[in-house]
A and B are shown apart, each in its own frame.
Chain A
Amino acid sequence: MSLSVLASMFVAGLFSSNVIASNGIGVDLATNSLNTLKNAIYYSFIIFAISMCSAVSIYLTSLVFTALKIQNFLIVAGLLIVSMYVQMGEFLVKKLSPLFYTQTKYLVPSLVSTLFIVIVCAFASTTSFLELVTLVLFECVGILLVLVIIAGIRNSGSIDNKPALLKGNLVSLIILLFIMMAWTAF
C-alpha cells in the first residue's frame, strides 16, 4: 500500500469519522470549559483510553454473550462497562491531577453518555474487531482535533479582553459553530 493511499485513508478517516463535527456527538464535551491546550490534550487522552478499553471489553463481552445466547443483555453490559471505566478514569484523575479534576467536575455526566453513544455507533457500523478499533481510534483523534482547536482559540491572547458575557460556554459554542460549518463545507 502506497504512502498516498495511507495518507488519504488517514484524512478520510479523520474527517469522515469526526463525531463532533459531522454528527454532533460529543458537543457536550467540546463546549465544556477547557481553557488550556494541556487540559484539552489531557482530556482527549482520557477519552481515548476509556473508549478504547470499553470498546475492547464490550467486544469480548459480546463474544461471550453470543456464545451463551444472551445478547439481549449486551446493552446493559455495555452501559455498565463504559460507566465502570469512567469511574476508574475519574478515580485515577482525582489521584494524579486533583486540579484538573476540580476544573472538569461537570464532565463526568457528558463523558459517560457521549462515550456510550460513540461506542454504540461504532458497534452498529462495524463487524470486525480491527474495524471497530480503527473507528474508535479515528473518532478519538477527531475529538482531540476539535478540543485542541477550541482550547487553542480560547487560550489565545487576542480574546483575553473579551466581555464578561462571552466568557465560559458561549465562546466554545461560537467556535464549534464555525468548525462545524467548515466541516460541512468540506
Chain B
Amino acid sequence: MKKINENVFNPALMFGIGLFPLLIVADNLKSAMLFGLLILCTIAICCFIYYAFKPIILENVRIPIYALIIFAGVYFLDSVVSELFIESYSSVHALVSYLFVAVIVMFMFESSKKEENFKVGFKNAILLGIEYLISLIIVGSVRELLSFGTLWGKEIVVDYVGFPFFGGIVGGLLVITIYALVYNVLSYVIKRHFKVQETLVTRYQKYLEENVKFEPQERETEEEE
C-alpha cells in the first residue's frame, strides 16, 4: 500500500520539475507523444548507466557526472533516432528537446540516490517516465484540440475557428494549471482512501494480535480444567 502511495506523484505537477519541456514541446499530440517516448528511452538508458557506475560516483562530484551520463544517453539516442525516423525526428526539434530531458533524468537520479537495488530503481524510473509521458499526452492533446480542433493532425471538430492562444506558452500554462488542479484532487482522494484503508487494516491487525495472544491462554485453561 505504501509503495503505491509513493508512486502516485508526478514531478512536473508536484514539484514543478520538467514544466518547461511540457510547456514548449506539448503543443500538439504528435510532438508530445514522440518527445515522451524519447524521454522514456533516455530514462531507461541513463538508469542502466547510472546503476552501472553508482558505486564509484562520489557525492561531491555527482552533478557533473550526471550531466555527462545524460549527455551520453541523449547523443546515443540522437544518432539512433536520426538514422531510423528522420521525418518524425526533425518535427520534434530534437537537439533542443533532448537537452530538456536533463531535468527529468536528473530528478530521477536524485530521487533514486538512496535506492541500491537496480530492479526497484529501474521500475521507479520507468514509472516516472510513464507518468511524465501521460502528462505530456494529455496536455498535448488538449492544447491541439483547443488550438486547431484536431488530434494527431486529423480534424475532430468540424468548422472549428480555434484558439491559437492555447498553442502559446500562457495558454499551455493555463492547461497545465487546470490539469494540476485535477491531478491534485485525484491524488488527494486516492491518498485519503488509502489512509482510511490503512487505518482499518491497522485496527484489524491489532484486534487479531490481541486474539492470538489470548487464544493459547484460553486453551491452556480449558485443558487444565
Interface residues of A (CB under 8 A from B): 23-33, 76, 79-80, 82-84, 86-87, 90-91, 105-106, 108-110, 112-114, 116-117, 120, 164-165, 168-170, 172-174, 176-177, 180-181, 184
Given the complex of chains A and B, what is the CA–CA distance between A28 and B104 in angstroms?
A: 11
Given the complex of chains A and B, what is the CA–CA distance between A76 and B14 in angstroms?
A: 31
- Cross-interface CB contact of A83 among B63, B99, B177, cutoff 8 Å: B63
Given the complex of chains A and B, what is the CA–CA distance between A110 and B63 in angstroms?
A: 12
- Cross-interface CB contact of B173 among A23, A27, A87, A109, cutoff 8 Å: A27
* 26 A-B contacts (beta carbon < 8 Å): A24-B20, A27-B16, A27-B19, A27-B23, A32-B15, A33-B15, A83-B67, A87-B64, A106-B110, A108-B63, A109-B17, A109-B107, A109-B109, A110-B103, A112-B102, A113-B99, A114-B20, A114-B103, A116-B99, A116-B102, A164-B188, A165-B181, A169-B14, A169-B15, A177-B173, A181-B170
Interface pair A28/B17, CB less than 8 Å apart = yes
Given the complex of chains A and B, what is the CA–CA distance between A79 and B10 in angstroms?
A: 26
B13 contacts the other chain (Cβ, under 8 Å)? yes
Interface pair B20/A106, CB less than 8 Å apart = no
Residues A86 and B20 in contact in the complex (CB < 8 Å), given A79-B71, A110-B103, A113-B100: no
Name which residue of chain B comes closest to A84, CB basis: B64
- List 19 extra interface pairs beyond A109-B17, A110-B16, A177-B170, CB under 8 A: A26-B20, A27-B20, A27-B23, A28-B18, A79-B71, A83-B63, A84-B64, A86-B63, A106-B15, A108-B110, A109-B102, A109-B109, A113-B100, A113-B102, A113-B103, A169-B16, A169-B180, A172-B16, A173-B180
B140-179 with Cβ < 8 A to chain A: 169-170, 172-174, 176-177
For the residues of B in contact with A, the DSSP-based class is helix
B51 contacts the other chain (Cβ, under 8 Å)? no
Number of A-B contacts (CB under 8 A): 122
B120 contacts the other chain (Cβ, under 8 Å)? no
Residue in A23, A86, A90, A169 with the greatest tally of chain B CB atoms within 10 Å:
A169
Query: For residue B200, which residues in chain A have a CB less than 8 angstroms away from its CB?
Result: none
Name which residue of chain B comes closest to A89, CB basis: B63
Query: For residue B62, which residues in chain A have a CB less than 8 angstroms away from its CB?
Result: 87
Residues A180 and B169 in contact in the complex (CB < 8 Å), given A27-B19, A169-B15: yes
Name which residue of chain B comes closest to A166, CB basis: B184
Chain A nearest CB from B72 CB (Å) reads 10
Query: For residue B18, which residues in chain A have a CB less than 8 angstroms away from its CB?
Result: 28
Interface pair A168/B102, CB less than 8 Å apart = no
Interface pair A109/B110, CB less than 8 Å apart = yes
The 10 closest A-B pairs by CB, nearest first: A31-B16, A109-B106, A83-B67, A87-B63, A113-B102, A113-B103, A24-B169, A109-B107, A83-B64, A27-B19
